[in-house]
């Protein structure tokens, strides 16, 4: 956690305006192992817009708490997935004696642990939906349909 706290302070001091997605993905010293998929999923689960300036995420106490809590819980989830016997059997290093054969079972098991990256639709539970509403993250002009799609006017959110 020391490296994360030092990174936070440095980001605030230099007023880092790079998108939080880029800052996380490109800093393997602090966020070791985070590629595009992990960074995207973690930010979505933390309810943080990926292009939000890094200094804004690091500088606000509430958003920083959400970010830091999700970093910890996301890493624990990833370790848990890797250490479970079921997962290890379903996500082998190679698919078979023919290492270039596509392992559909392993692929589907992997996809079940991807929450948002490159998804057309992202499912959230009722608690997450309430959090999004409380944070004003949903378009108030859109109407959510029974199938989960929103229709209505598009709102543009501009950040200063």
| Residue 116 CB neighbour total at 10 angstroms | 17
CA 95 vs. chain centroid, Å, equals 28
Residues 145 and 73 in one domain: no
Residues 102 and 150 in one domain: no
For residue 19, the domain's CATH number is 1.10.8
- Assign 3-class secondary structure to 105-159: HHHHHHHCCCCCCCCCCCCCCHHHHHHHHHCCCCCCCEEECCCCCEEECCCCCCC
Residues 19 and 63 in one domain: yes
Residues 116 and 63 in one domain: yes
Residues 61 and 114 in one domain: yes
Residues 70 and 131 in one domain: no
The yes-or-no verdict on residue 18 having pLDDT over 90 is yes
What lies within 8 Å, CB to CB, of 155 at 6+ separation is: 139, 140, 141, 142
Q: Place 10 in a pLDDT band, splitting at 50, 70 and 90.
A: very high
Give pLDDT tens digits for 101-126. Answer: 666 666 566 666 667 776 667 777 88
The candidate with the shortest Cα–Cα distance to 41, out of 73, 63, 6, is: 73
What lies within 8 Å, CB to CB, of 87 at 6+ separation is: 81, 109
The candidate with the shortest Cα–Cα distance to 79, out of 90, 70, 87, is: 87
Average pLDDT (3-23) is 95
Q: Place 160 in a pLDDT band, splitting at 50, 70 and 90.
A: very low
Is the overall model pTM greater than 0.75, yes or no? no
Q: Which domain holds residue 160?
A: 124-160
pLDDT at 151: 65
pLDDT at 89: 54
The yes-or-no verdict on residue 77 having pLDDT over 60 is yes
CA distance 57 to 46: 11
Average pLDDT (2-12) is 95
Q: How would you classify residue 103: left for phi > 0, otherwise alpha for psi between -120 and 50, otherwise beta?
A: beta
Average pLDDT (52-79) is 90
Q: What total number of domains does the chain contain?
A: 2
Residues 87 and 145 in one domain: no
Residues 132 and 79 in one domain: no
Q: Place 147 in a pLDDT band, splitting at 50, 70 and 90.
A: very low
């Amino acid at each position: 956690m020391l490296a994360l706290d030092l990174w936070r302070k440095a980001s605030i001091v230099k007023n880092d305006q790079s998108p939080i997605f880029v800052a996380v993905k490109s800093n393997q010293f602090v966020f070791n192992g985070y590629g595009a998929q992990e960074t995207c999923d973690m930010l979505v689960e933390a309810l943080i817009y990926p292009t939000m300036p890094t200094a804004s995420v690091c500088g606000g106490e509430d958003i920083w708490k959400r970010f830091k809590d999700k970093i910890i819980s996301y890493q624990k989830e990833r370790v848990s997935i890797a250490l479970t016997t079921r997962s290890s059997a379903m996500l082998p290093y190679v698919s078979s004696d023919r290492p270039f054969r596509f392992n559909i079972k392993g692929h589907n098991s992997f996809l079940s642990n991807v929450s948002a990256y490159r998804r057309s639709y992202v499912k959230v539970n009722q608690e997450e939906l309430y959090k999004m509403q409380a944070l004003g993250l949903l378009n108030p002009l859109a109407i959510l349909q029974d199938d989960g799609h929103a229709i209505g006017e598009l709102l543009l959110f501009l950040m200063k």
